[in-house]
Amino acid sequence: MTLLKLDQRIRRDLEDLYKGGILTFIQNFKNCKITEAEQLSMDLFGTPNELSIHGLPGYYTGKRDAATVMVMLNPGSDVMSQNNPFVTEKTLNRILKELGKTNISSSADFVKIIKRGSDRYGNIDKDRLDNFDIKQAAFLKAWENSGVDIPNNFPDMIPRPSKKGKEERDKLLRKVKQNVLMQKLQLELIPYASRKFKTINPNNYKHLFPYVETLFHEIFSHERTYVIFCSDFFDKLFKAYSDDNGYSGTIDFGNKVAFEDKEGKQLFNKGDAFCTPIKITYNGESIYAVIAHTFPNQSLPNAYDKMQAYGKFCYDVYNDYKLQNNKP
């Protein structure tokens, strides 16, 4: 066996990269970007790197005409990993496999494939358990006629100690996850990923108003039963948006309500859980909705019983507000 000195090994490996076009690859990758994502990152945060500008955006998942719509802030993926072209390649391969295709033939085909992948993401990702998706099902358990098929024994079946019990539980959880992804519509305020939605200066909210318009247009494009905005940030954003005369939508706010159970106890050990019912009017049409301020709470991902209780609380507040405002 021939000994390779350290300098020889370094030279051999790096020459492989250079001759293979690593510098050209980097430059081409830098040029392959979503200009609107880069501009929005600059407008909101003063840097082009707070949002994923090279990775696939996540506009929606699920059924476009679903009865229930849940709206998140943006896809919660790390910018660096989302910008990785091999992550994009893996995602595209999974979509192509689901659609029974082997290649992408044009830009129009690319757009069509990504949209069909968003429609069928619940099938594409059905084998992976994900707390974020499962907690949505727990939240929706009490929402009557939501259009999402949630088994009666969920989430009560979660604690099962035996191996057989765990296998049965995981099988049911995968089905719950698939249903909640396929049978509702999940929209993102911003389609460009970031791990954390950093604090935004209120003076910069105006840069998000066009994205609010896109949300409202999609929501009002079909008849909806429930619309749920899953972050406290929507409260501040909608108040700023509604005050801007340059946009057609308005939001009427009900009272912000704090959760208490029958014994007057709070849902969490640290702080209250809140929701605010609202009425959105857009292009002459109105719909009732609710802002679930506490939905992203870090103590909730595995606490499905608490998420179910919080979801029922939001449902009751929503219904009360709707009934009060529809009195003859």
Lowest-confidence region among 85-99, 230-244, 264-278: 264-278
Asked if residues 155 and 325 have their Cβ atoms less than 8 Å apart, the reply is: no
What are the two backbone dihedrals, phi and then psi, of residue 264, each rounded to the nearest 5 degrees? 80, 15
CATH code, 138: 3.40.470
Beta strand pairing call for 226-229 and 285-291: parallel
* Interatomic CA distance for residues 218 and 214, integer angstroms: 6
Q: Is residue 240 part of a domain?
A: yes
Residue 112 located in a structural domain: no
Greater pLDDT, 73 or 161:
73
Q: Report yes or no on 30 lying in a domain.
A: no
* Residue with more model confidence, 245 or 325: 325
Structure confidence at residue 256 (pLDDT): 95
Exposed, middle or buried, 304 (CB in 10 Å: 0-12/13-18/19+)?
buried
CA angle, 148 then 153 then 159, to 5°: 120
Q: Do residues 206 and 87 make contact, with C-beta atoms less than 8 angstroms apart? A: no
Domain around 294: 60-80+130-325
**161 vs 58, which has greater pLDDT?**
58
- 50 within domain boundaries: no
Instruction: Give the residue-averaged pLDDT of 85-109.
Output: 95
User: Is 40 part of a structural domain of the chain?
Assistant: no
pLDDT tens, residue by residue, 114-150: 999 999 999 999 889 888 899 999 999 999 999 999 9
Each residue of 162-172: pLDDT tens digit?
A: 666 788 888 88
Measured from the Cβ of residue 263, the count of other Cβ atoms closer than 10 Å reads 5
Q: Is 96 a member of any domain?
A: no
Residue type at position 328: P
> Residue 8: inside a domain, yes or no?
no
Q: What is the pTM of this model?
A: 0.92
- Any domain includes 18: no
Quick one: pLDDT at residue 306?
86
User: How many domains does one find in the chain?
Assistant: 1
